[in-house]
């Protein structure tokens, strides 16, 4: 029981009472006559129950000390006194975060049948190429946002906007790659953990603060991303899916425009 008193309105209302019976061997005591099914609290009908600690041996007493109830028409008002310290020990520890991708992070390689005019082998190979670029696009977007959030220095505001424009250019590509992938029958493995497991983009240096250091790091990452898009186009062309190959060619043009903007800052040595 979780420090509350609830009406006998069905099995769903008695989950806590049932749990208490299983852990202590004791049953709730009905407050009024007519509710006499003591063997199975989940079957109580139209009444209210109160668990009394004084009916239990000390070792069997639950974590909470006592409760009082009063009736107000068909409503039960309950007052919680306090929680015993031993109940805290019995509570499960709070999760501190699931951590980095691990054994539970899986890549779903299921393929759905469709009427796209490619062989099953062509679809499977094309989807495999796209999965890696989907992970790369998610990673590239997050790195651009990291630079946008954390840049410091005299040119903070200008670079803050520049890095955000990179992120804005990459963000639509995530959805476009995922949707093209699913059009061919694949499953878009696009969670953050899946992407961290699969992205070919190098890890971003999260200790950077100065503007030009961020420009250089982001340009390196974006250069790698553009290379991945080009390679995807070439590989898919060899597989025989020309439309998907052309699709990646367009993504390259968009991403390389952002790379040009970053490299222009590096060539000048500062933001103009």
Asked if residue 5 has pLDDT above 80, the reply is: no
Cα 63 from Cα 50, distance rounded (Å):
15
> Angle, nearest 10°, between helix axes 211-239 and 156-183?
20
Among 72-81, 98-107, 129-138, 193-202, whose mean pLDDT is lowest?
Answer: 72-81
pLDDT in tens, 62-72: 443 344 444 44
Tell me which long-range contacts 83-92 makes (C-beta under 8 A, separation of at least 24).
83/3, 87/62, 87/63, 88/63, 90/63
φ, ψ dihedrals at 83, nearest 5°: -100, 140
Return the structure tokens found at 197: 């497991």
Asked if residue 12 has pLDDT above 50, the reply is: no
**Average model confidence (pLDDT) across the chain:** 76
CATH fold, domain 120-268, is Ferritin (1.20.1260)
Asked if residue 191 has pLDDT above 70, the reply is: yes
- CB within 8 A of 108, min separation 6: which ones? 187, 189
* Rounded average pLDDT over 226-245: 98
DSSP letter, residue 92: P
Asked if residue 244 has pLDDT above 70, the reply is: yes
Among 101-105, 175-179, 254-258, whose mean pLDDT is lowest?
Answer: 101-105
Among 86-95, 117-126, 151-160, whose mean pLDDT is lowest?
Answer: 86-95
Q: Are 236 and 129 in contact (CB under 8 A)?
A: yes
* Rounded average pLDDT over 200-227: 97
- CB within 8 A of 162, min separation 6: which ones? 215, 261, 262, 265, 271
pLDDT score recorded for residue 103: 72
Q: Taking CA 218 as the corner, what is the angle to CA 213 and CA 219, rounded to the nearest 5 degrees? A: 100
DSSP letter, residue 204: P
pLDDT in tens, 111-144: 999 999 999 999 999 999 999 999 999 999 999 9
* Rounded average pLDDT over 260-266: 94
pTM above 0.85, yes or no: no
Q: Are 221 and 201 in contact (CB under 8 A)?
A: yes
Q: Where are the domains of the chain?
A: 11-89, 120-268
* Rounded average pLDDT over 236-253: 98
pLDDT score recorded for residue 123: 98
pLDDT score recorded for residue 105: 83
pLDDT score recorded for residue 104: 79
């Amino acid at each position: 029981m979780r420090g509350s008193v609830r009406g006998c309105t069905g099995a769903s209302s008695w989950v806590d009472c049932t749990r208490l019976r299983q852990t202590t061997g004791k049953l709730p005591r009905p407050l009024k006559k007519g509710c006499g099914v003591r063997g199975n609290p989940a079957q109580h009908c139209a009444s209210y129950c109160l668990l009394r600690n004084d009916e239990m041996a000390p070792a069997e007493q639950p974590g909470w000390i006592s409760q009082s109830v009063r009736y107000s028409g068909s409503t039960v008002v309950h007052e919680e006194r306090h929680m015993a310290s031993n109940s805290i020990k019995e509570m499960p520890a709070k999760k501190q975060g699931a951590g980095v991708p691990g054994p539970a992070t899986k890549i779903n390689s299921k393929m759905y049948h469709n009427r796209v005019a490619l062989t099953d082998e062509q679809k499977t190979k094309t989807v495999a190429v796209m999965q890696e670029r989907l992970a790369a696009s998610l990673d590239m977007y997050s790195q651009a946002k990291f630079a946008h959030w954390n840049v410091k220095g005299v040119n903070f505001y200008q670079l803050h906007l520049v890095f955000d424009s990179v992120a804005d250019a990459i963000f639509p590509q995530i959805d476009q790659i995922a949707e093209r992938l699913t059009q061919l029958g694949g499953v878009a493995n696009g969670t953050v953990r899946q992407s961290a497991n699969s992205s070919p983009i190098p890890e971003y240096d999260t200790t950077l603060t100065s503007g030009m250091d961020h420009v250089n790091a982001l340009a390196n990452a974006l250069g790698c991303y553009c290379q991945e898009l080009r390679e995807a186009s070439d590989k898919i062309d060899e597989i025989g899916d020309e439309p998907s190959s052309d699709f990646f060619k367009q993504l390259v043009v968009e991403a390389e425009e952002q790379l040009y903007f970053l490299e222009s800052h590096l060539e000048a040595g500062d933001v103009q």
